[in-house]
Amino acid sequence: MSAGKDFTDLRIWKKAHELTIRIYELTKKFPREEIYGLTSQLRRAAVSVESCIAESYGRFHINDVVHFLIDSRGSLYEV
């Protein structure tokens, strides 16, 4: 998967990064008592989406690429 210089050139990674930024902005408005609950879970899942896409970019075997993209989709559903 070397269409660009690095994973940050991928449109899908850019969209996932936008999602992470939006989730962080949204969860700032959550109640303070949710900081270790829902806020943390949403933020970690959003970061996982873009992280798995980035990790898939560095893989050489298609099976590994697919594995990380499926993990990314799972995290997306979690969000």
**Helical axes 38-57 vs 11-27, angle rounded to 10°:** 170
- Residue of 44, 71, 76, 47 lying closest to 59 (CA atoms): 71
Compute the distance between CA of residue 20 and CA of residue 3 in angstroms, rounded to an integer: 23
pLDDT, tens digit, for every residue of 65-79? 999 999 999 999 999
Which residues, other chains included, contact 55 with Cβ-Cβ below 8 Å and sequence gap of 6+? 68
Reported as a single tens digit per residue, the pLDDT across 29-61 is: 999 999 999 999 999 999 999 999 999 998 999
pTM over 0.85: yes
Cβ proximity of 41 and 71 under 8 Å: no
What CATH number belongs to 8-78? 1.20.1440.60
In the chain, domain spans: 8-78
